[in-house]
Structure 1
Amino acid sequence: MSYTADYGSFERLYQEKLRRGETSWSSGLAEREIIPCFLTDLLAAASIEHGGSVLEVGCGAGDLSFYLVQQGYRVTGIDVSPTAIMMAKSRAIANGADVSFMACNILDVPSLPLEKFDCVLDGLCLHCIVGADRDSFFQSIHYVLKENGLFIIMTMCGDPKGIRISSMYDECTRNVYNQSTAERYLGLAEDIIGEIQRANFILEYIKIVEGDAVSGDQDMLLCVARKKLKLV
């Protein structure tokens, strides 16, 4: 099946949210689910030094970036959507939060004047990267991390849950499609783990959180991976 990726769709979605007066991807989702169910355990497993530098990839309007600042980290958030970054910057000013935000594509990171980070947080971005772009994604993460830096991963995985996702899913590519545009990759957990390892990371923590077919919540793969000292 031939397909394309359309990462610009996130900008269109955020523009629509802005028109509706919304200020984040999904109001309350970070506080209700992502932080208590996923991120808290991941940060404990990572043991990032207090004051360490963290890059959130796919930060959206900044929900997780603001939480990381509250935990004592120096945070930079990037997102492909300029509108999302505008929303994040506005919230940072309104709340006096010391966070840097930048609109850019993670695939372009090696060409950008970014510092090296102690940790990169996948802000639920990886499952939105499809096809050959996934190799470029991991290369970008490896590039922007300091030696021995940590990569925290939160990504959908497994067979599709719920009627809507199942109806858009192709078993051969394991992508979720909107017509011919691939919007999500629902790889098997073991396949995603293999991708991480082949990208020269050492896995230090792995957990799979089972989803729910009734609610449509997808299985989640949670990992902490350490950058190898040298590319091999």
Structure 2
Amino acid sequence: MKYANVDKIYQTLPLENIPWNSETPPEALVNLVKNGIVRPCKTIDLGCGAGNYAIYLTGLGFEVIGVDSSPTAIKMAEEQAKIRGVRCRFVVADLLGDLHEVTDTFDFAYDWEFLHHIFPEDRETYIRNVHKITNPGATYFSVCFAESDPQFGGSGNYRTTRIGTTLYFSSESEIRELVSPYFAIRELKTVDVSSKFGPHRAVSLLATRR
């Protein structure tokens, strides 16, 4: 993942033009809470961007830390939390680094449409980090673009977006192989996800930390 490019996106594009930025929490995340699959607990939002979902969960009683590599995004998140009067923390950190900036461990970790920014050669480093900062029995929820998605050309695993980022589109089997050594898979499926620029197909993972 080219972190500098992501920070440049936050510096140069209005939030409404950034494809992954949405103030409305995704239905899948809302349903996890609504159905009691996750309850208020210590939570980490991995690749939190401008902090919308971290702020949403904090408002429901979760104790949330949002982490992102973009200092610009983190500043925006802190400003939004202050405006909305919620107490959640935001940290600038390289999620492929040693995560020394994150000193807590968590009972719920999630990355919403973040993993497709990480290429296969770096994914084991990332999933080890998620394992390291979660408690035994913690819930991990991840949603990333599926290789069956028709967006951005509709074929091949590597695709370039309209804003110039390159993403990796995954199969269910790739995600299973990636996470199985570290997490027990509870649910793995390909789903339709709505977004501000149209629907797309995504691989949805719900797992428990071993």
Q: Report the TM-score range of the alignment, normalised by the length of the smaller protein.
A: 0.7 to 0.9
Corresponding residue number in structure 2 for 1:137? 126
- Selected match of 2:54 from 65, 78, 93: 65
Unpaired segments of 5 or more residues in structure 2? none
Query: Within the alignment, does 1:194 sit opposite 2:184 as a pair?
Result: no
2:52 & 2:165 partners in 1: Cα distance? 26
What's the CA shift string for 1:76-119, capped at 9, x where partnerless? 00111100000010111111110100111111244334201111
Q: Is the 8 A contact 1:130 1:183 kept in 2?
A: no
Q: Aligned AA for 1:208?
A: T
- How far did 1:26 drift? 5.1
Give the 5 Å matches for 1:111-122. Answer: 111-122=100-111
Q: Which has the higher contact order (CA 8 A, sep 6+)?
A: 1
Give the TM-score normalised by the residue count of structure 1: 0.78
Displacement, 1:42? 3.3
2:24 equivalent to 1:42: no
Q: Which runs of 5+ in 1 are unaligned?
A: none
Distance 1:43 1:158, change over 3 A: farther
Q: Which residue of 2 aligns with 1:101?
A: 90
When residues 27 and 121 of structure 1 are mapped into structure 2, their CA distance, relative to the original with a 3 A threshold, is closer
- 1:185 aligns to 2:181 (yes or no): no
Matches within 5 A, 1:80-229: 80-162=69-151, 165-166=152-153, 171=156, 174-177=157-160, 183-198=166-181, 200-210=182-192, 217-228=199-210
Aligned residues: 206
Q: Is the 8 A contact 2:191 2:203 kept in 1?
A: yes
Query: Which protein shows a greater Rg?
Result: 1
Structure 1 CA distance, aligned partners of 2:130 and 2:62? 18
The equivalent position to 2:3 in structure 1, one of 7, 12, 20, is: 7
Alpha carbons 2:67, 2:93 under 8 Å: kept: yes
The change in CA–CA distance for 1:194 and 1:42 in structure 2 (over 3 A counts) is: farther
Structure 2 length as normaliser, TM-score? 0.86
Q: How large is the RMSD of aligned CA atoms in angstroms?
A: 2.6
Displacement after TM superposition at 1:138 (Å): 0.3
Task: Please give the alpha-carbon distance, in whole angstroms, between the structure 2 residues aligned to 1:72 and 1:105.
Answer: 27
More helix by share: 1
